[in-house]
Amino acid sequence: MTTLSTRAGAAPYTKLVLRLYDLWVIRLSNSFGWRCNRAHFVDLYRRHIGHRHLEVGPGSGWALANIDLPTDIDLTLLDLNANSLDHTASRLDVPLTLIEHDVLVPLDKSIEKFDSVSINYVLHCLPGDWSTKAAALTNLAEKLTPEGVLFGSTVIGADQSFTVLGKALMFAYNQTGVFGNRQDDLPGLRRSLSETFEQVEVTMVGNVAIFVARQPRTRP
């Protein structure tokens, strides 16, 4: 069941905002707010995207539109906001499956497993602390093949030194519910990933944690 606070993180993605997303988020906020250049995300996708791929929270679709997708890719987009799904789909010339869904809720059992799952800039938009957000990782791990990989990124809110712009964004976004990451610390992210996956890599670039996780743990 989707909560009001979960929807608050997805609500800002209006059609107008999505037209400005590449400039404001990908270029300006990444470089001057979070000190994590967009090139890091391109590299992440190039190294890890698989044949059957699930994109969680595609935003404007910038990342997918700026890499060479596998020619035979089987691509699914998942987001709580239909505007984001439609905007991303309009940028990609590949067959797509669109799923409007809350990542904190388990995915339908009929959905087949994926070779790769990406979740970029989603966790910091979710409500609650890591004990709540870990449900998203668990739900996605259940939809990965045994050899599959989950990769993503999130702005760490706790115990961080921010630029002037970063401080302003953190305050404004958390006040309005766009972000819910004031309690998001790096050890908590590592712990949540390690409780769900056997192999975990986390790298900090500026205020952004970039992570790669493999071998989903077997659930009872």
Average pLDDT over residues 108-120: 98
SS3 assignment, position 158: coil
**What span, in angstroms and rounded, lies between the C-alpha atoms of 173 and 88?**
23
Using DSSP bridges, classify how beta strands 197-205 and 208-216 pair: parallel, antiparallel or unpaired.
antiparallel
Residues 6+ apart with CB under 8 A from 39: none
Structure token pair of residue 16: 């107008």
Average pLDDT over residues 86-101: 97
Residue 19 to residue 187: CA distance in whole angstroms: 35
Instruction: Indicate whether 5 pLDDT > 60.
Output: no
The band of 169, judged by pLDDT with boundaries at 50, 70 and 90, is very high
Quick one: pLDDT band at residue 10, thresholds 50, 70, 90? low
Mean of pLDDT over the chain: 95
pLDDT in tens, 180-195: 999 999 999 999 999 9
Expressed as residue numbers, the domain containing 94 is: 4-216
For residue range 38-81, list pLDDT tens digits in order: 999 999 999 999 999 999 999 999 999 999 999 899 999 999 99
Residue 2 has pLDDT above 80, yes or no: no
Dist CA 73 CA 96 (whole Å): 9
pLDDT exceeds cutoff 70 at 8:
no
Q: Which residue has the higher pLDDT, 210 or 12?
A: 210
Q: What is the CATH number of the domain that holds 47?
A: 3.40.50.150
Q: Which two tokens stand for residue 69?
A: 């997708």
Q: Say whether pLDDT at 4 is over 50.
A: no
Strands (E), 43-165: 52-56, 74-79, 96-100, 114-120, 144-155
Q: What's the length of the chain?
A: 220
pLDDT band at 1 (very low <50, low <70, confident <90, very high): very low
Residues sharing a CB contact under 8 Å with residue 216, sequence separation 6 or more, in sequence order: 141, 142, 144, 146, 148, 196, 197, 198
- 148, two tokens: 């599959």
- With 70 as the cut, is the pLDDT of residue 125 above it? yes
Q: How many distinct structural domains can be found in the chain?
A: 1
pLDDT > 90 in the chain, percent = 91
Residue type, 1: M
pTM value is: 0.94
